[in-house]
Amino acid sequence: MPFVLPLGAEDTGALVVHPFWVFVSIANFLVLLYVLRRVLWSPVMTTLEERARRVREGIELAAAAKRERAEMQAEVERLLTAARREAAAIAERATRAADAAAAEIRAQAKLDGDRLRERAKADAEQLHQQALAQLRSEIAAMAVLAAGKILGKEVDANAHKVLIERSLDEAGSELGKLN
């Protein structure tokens, strides 16, 4: 063995391996391995298993949270869709109600306008008839007065007035036929 120096030989600086110390190192390593395995192995393994369990639980919780978030997002989308649909239905009903109310208001305004027009026409016709009656009366009075002045004598005003009004009525009916 070239690396082993006999006892009492001088070290020349080369690497020398002593079998005794190799055996002592192997024995130390085996004793240390036994002690570490007995004392530290189970706590280290327990800690590692506990950590692995917590990691698995964290992954499961994250997956459950992800599923729950997806379910909640689907529920939110469903609710939003329902709310949009309901808002559209409400807007449609409001539009229809507004259109119906506008049509009703227009119809009522048309009726009121027609009624007002008819009343105005009736009032105008009444005023026209009153004006004609007053005009006839004044024309009859003036005709009686003029006839009295022409004839130079007093003319029976009532008889003459009746005669003039009859003539005016006949003339008015003739004018009505022409229109």
| Averaged pLDDT for residues 162-173 | 74
Residue 179 has pLDDT above 70, yes or no: no
Residue 1 has pLDDT above 50, yes or no: no
pTM: 0.40
- Give how many domains the chain has, as a whole number: 1
Residue 129 has pLDDT above 50, yes or no: yes
Domain assignment present for residue 10? The answer is no
Contact 161, 140 (CB under 8 A): yes
Domain assignment present for residue 3? The answer is no
Domain with 43 in it: 21-178
C-alpha dihedral sign at 146, 152, 154, 158 = negative
